[in-house]
Amino acid sequence: MKTIDDLQVAGKRVFVRADLNVPLDGTTITDDGRIRAVLPTIARLAEAGAKVIVASHLGRPKGAPDPKFSLAPAAARLGELLGRDVSFAADTVDDGARSTVEGLADGQVAVLENLRFNPGETSKDDAERGAFADRLAALADLYVGDGFGAVHRKHASVYDLPARLPHAAGGLIATEVGVLKKLTEDVRRPYAVVLGGAKVSDKLGVIDHLLGKADRILIGGGMAYTFLKAQGHEIGGSLLQEDQIPAVREYLTRAKEQGVEFVLPVDVLAAAEFPDLKTKAPANPVTVSADVIPADMQGLDIGPETRKLFASKLADAATVFWNGPMGVFEHPDYAEGTRAVAQALLDSPAFSVVGGGDSAAAVRQLGFDENAFGHISTGGGASLEYLEGKTLPGLAALED
C-alpha cells in the first residue's frame, strides 16, 4: 500500500476521501475528533503545494440534498483548525464542484458537499456507482484515501474511485492499519477485549473471531443483558435481543472450551424509565444485582462492583481493545461505568485501543486526555470488521 510519500503532489489536484461524519446539534459540531484526525494529511498536502479537494459523507441522506446533512459546518471547522481559508462547493460533481476546484491555487483546500447527496455514492449497482466515480475522477489528478471510518463500505468514493486515479493511503489510514495489526498479529498478552454498546448483534462477528485470540472478554452496555438472559437471569425491562440468545449461548460454551474468560456484570444501575438526555434531569437509579433485575426496571449502566471487577481484569493486561460504552454515558447518572473503564485503561500498562464511535466520543465527553491512550480509532464499524478478519473494500482498493 503506497503512502502520500510515494506521490508527487505539487501543483496536482489531490482528492482526499476523508471521514468528516461528525455529530451535529443543528449546525453545531458536538465532537470534531474526526476532523482533527485527518487534519495532518490535509495540512501536509497543502503545504506540499497540492490543490486539495476534500470529500466525505455525513449521516444517511437518501441520495438527494438535505440541508440537515450539509458538510458546510465541517468545512468551516476544518478551516478554523487549518488556520487558512477553505472553499466549500455546494454540490459534489456539478457546476459548484467544478468551479470551486478550478478556482483552487496550489496549497489551497476545498470541501465538496456531502457525497451521499448523490445516489451513485452508495448504489449497489456497479454501473451507477462507477458513473459517479467517473465524475469524481474528472475533478482530480491523484487520490488519497484517509477516511478510515468508511473503508468497510463499497461506495464510489471509497472503492471505485481509487481504481481511476493514481492512489495512496493517507497518514490516518496508515496509522489505523498499523494499530489494528497489533491487535491481530503478534499480540502482547494478556489480551483483554471490552465490548459494550446497545446491540449484541453488532458485535457477534468480532466475538466469534476473537474467541481464538483474546484471553478475556468483558461485556457491558446494553448488549450485556442478552448475555445475562442467556445464562437464565432475570433482566427486567432491560434491552434484549432475544433472537441472539442461541448464538450467545454457543459463544459462552466455546469460550469455556477454549479457555477464554468471559466477564459479565455482577451489578447494574437500574431505573424504571430511560433518562432524559436533553434536560439531563436526575434519574435516581438504584444498584441491583445483575442476575435479578426487578421486572419494572431496566439496567442502564454497570454498577460499582462491576466497575471494580472490570478494572481488576484490565490491571495486568498487555493489550486492550475497547469498543462500546458501558451504559447511557450521555447522562451523568449513567456515565460512571464508562468512566471507570477509561480510567482502568489509563491505569493499566497495556497498549490500549479505543475502537471508535461512541467510545471515542465518551472519552472526549468525559474529559480524558486522548493522547493518554495508545490509540483512539476513528472507525468503529471499520475497526470491528477488520478484527473480524473481513476484507475491507476501501483498504483493498488502495493495495497495488
Bind-site residues for ATP: 203, 299, 330, 356-359
Binding site members for (2R)-3-phosphoglycerate: 34, 116, 153
Q: Is 355 a catalytic residue?
A: no
Cβ neighbours of residue 8 under 8 Å, at least 6 residues apart? none
Helices (H), 57-111: 72-82, 95-102
The DSSP secondary structure of 346-374, one letter per residue, reads: HHS-SEEEE-SHHHHHHHHHTT--GGGSS
- Active-site hit among 12, 13, 17, 34: 34
- Active-site hit among 357, 379, 380, 394: 357
Q: Is 199 a catalytic residue?
A: yes
Strands 142-145, 167-169: pairing kind: parallel
Residue 53's DSSP bridge partners are: 15, 110
How many residues in the chain?
Answer: 400
- Active-site hit among 199, 249, 364, 390: 199
Q: Is 120 a catalytic residue?
A: no
Binding site members: 19-21, 34, 57-60, 116, 153, 203, 299, 330, 356-359
The grid cell for 347 is 491505569
Spatial distance between the Cα atoms of 243 and 271, rounded to a whole number of angstroms: 25
How many C-beta atoms lie closer than 10 Å to residue 64's C-beta? 9
- Active-site hit among 170, 380, 381, 394: 381
With 0-12 / 13-18 / 19 or more C-beta atoms within 10 angstroms meaning exposed / middle / buried, residue 258 is exposed
Q: Is 34 a catalytic residue?
A: yes
Spatial distance between the Cα atoms of 50 and 44, rounded to a whole number of angstroms: 9
Q: Give, for 312, the enclosing helix (H) or strand (E).
A: helix 304-314
* 351 φ, ψ (degrees, to nearest 5): -75, 115
The DSSP secondary structure of 123-151, one letter per residue, reads: -S-HHHHHHHHHHHHTT-SEEEE--GGGT
CA angle 248, 252, 253 (to 5 degrees): 115
Question: Which residue, among 241, 220, 238, has the nearest Cα to 336 in the 3D structure?
Answer: 220
Binding site members for substrate: 19-21, 34, 57-60, 116, 153
Residues labelled as active-site residues: 34, 199, 357, 381
